[in-house]
Amino acid sequence: MIVTLTPNPSLDRALELDRLVRGEVNRATGAHVHPGGKGINVSRVLIRHGVPSLAVLPTGGADGARLVDLLGERAVPVVPVPVGGDVRTNLTLVETGGATTKVNAPGPKLTPDEVDALLAAVEAQLVNRPRALVGAGSLPLGASETFFVRVAGLAARYAVPFALDTSGLPLARAVRSGGLTLVKPNDEELAELVGQDIVTVGDAVEAARTVIAQGTRAVLLSLGAHGALLILADAVWWAGGPPLVPVSTVGAGDTTLAGFLAAEGHAPERLRQAVAFGRAAVLLPGTAVPAPEDIDLGAVRVVENPAHHLALKEL
C-alpha cells in the first residue's frame, strides 16, 4: 500500500479549446470533470497499474462530496477528513496542440483542529506500515508552512519512506528539516529552493546535492519535455526519449512520480519507468491516467553521469 496525502484537493473542470483568445468569448469543444490534486493523481495512477494505494484528503461542501464520489468511481480508496469549508474548484483550459492554462482556486481555510485531524488520519495509516507515504500539492489556508515538516516527522516515527512533491516555502521548510526520502521538484522549483539559476546538468546536480546534504536521500528532477534526472549523493542518471507532441501536460509530473514509486529494481530502472509513465501521460487528454498498455519503456533511454556541461534543454 502507498498512502497519498493531498492537503488541498480540488474538483478539476477541464475545457478543450481550439485556441484561447484573451478578452474574447471562447467556445469549448469538450468538457471534463475530474478529481484533482497531486496526491490524488498519484493514487489514481498507482491503482490503474495494480499498485494498492489510498488517498487521504480533507473534504467539505457539495464539491467535496462529488470529489469522493468520483474517486469511488475510479476505485480509489479514500480517507475523507471532514472540514467546514468547501473543496475548491480549479479550471484548466487545454488548447489543441497541448498548451495548457490553469486557474487554481485557493481552497478552504482549515481550522487548527481540522489540520490536526488531517494529520491524525495520516498517522492512522502509518500505523499499518505502508510501503511509502506521498505528500503532494499546495497547502490550504490555515496550514502553516511547517505542515509537511510535521508529516515527515510522522513518517519517520513509523519508519515509512516519505516522498514530497510541493514547492515554495513549504518545500524549503521540509528540506531544511531533513528526513525526506525523495523530493520531486522541476527545475524552476529547485532553482527557487537553492537560490541559484539552473541551466546545465552540473547546476542541477550541485543544487540537488545541496538538498541532499540537508537530509534528503534522493532528488527526482522533472525536466518536462527534456526527461528527468535522478540524483543521489554519489550517483546521477538522466532518462528521456524522442520528442512528443503533447495533448495535455496536466498531471504528467504526478504520473512520473507514480511511475517511480510503482517500479521495482535499481534506481536507473525506476527512473526509466518514471519517465515512461510521464511520456504516456502527456499523450492523453485532460488528467486521463495512462493504462499499462500505454507505457513504452523501450522508448526511454537512461544515461549514467550525463555530461555536466550540457544545458538541460540539450538533454
Contacts of 308 (CB under 8 A, 6+ apart): 200, 201, 202, 205
Structure-block grid coordinates of residue 237? 542518471
Helix axes 252-262, 267-281, angle to 10 degrees: 150
Q: Residue 1's CB: how many other CB atoms inside 10 A?
A: 15
Residues 132-148, buried b or exposed e (16+ Cβ, 10 A)?
bbbbbbbbbebbeebbb
Angle ∠(260,7,163) on CA atoms, nearest 5: 25
Alpha helices in the chain (DSSP H): 38-48, 61-73, 112-126, 147-157, 168-177, 187-194, 201-212, 252-262, 267-281
The single-letter DSSP state of residue 94 is: E
Which of the residues are catalytic? 254
Which of 22, 257, 280, 306 minimizes the C-alpha distance to 136?
A: 257
**CA 291/CA 271 separation, integer angstroms:** 18
Q: Give me the residue label for grid cell 503532494.
A: 136
Question: Percentage helix, strand, coil, to 5, in the chain?
Answer: 35, 25, 35
The answer to whether 76 and 36 have CB atoms below 8 angstroms apart is no
Backbone angles phi, psi at 30, to 5 degrees: -165, 155
Question: In terms of Cα–Cα distance, which of 64, 111, 74, 32 is closest to 284?
Answer: 32
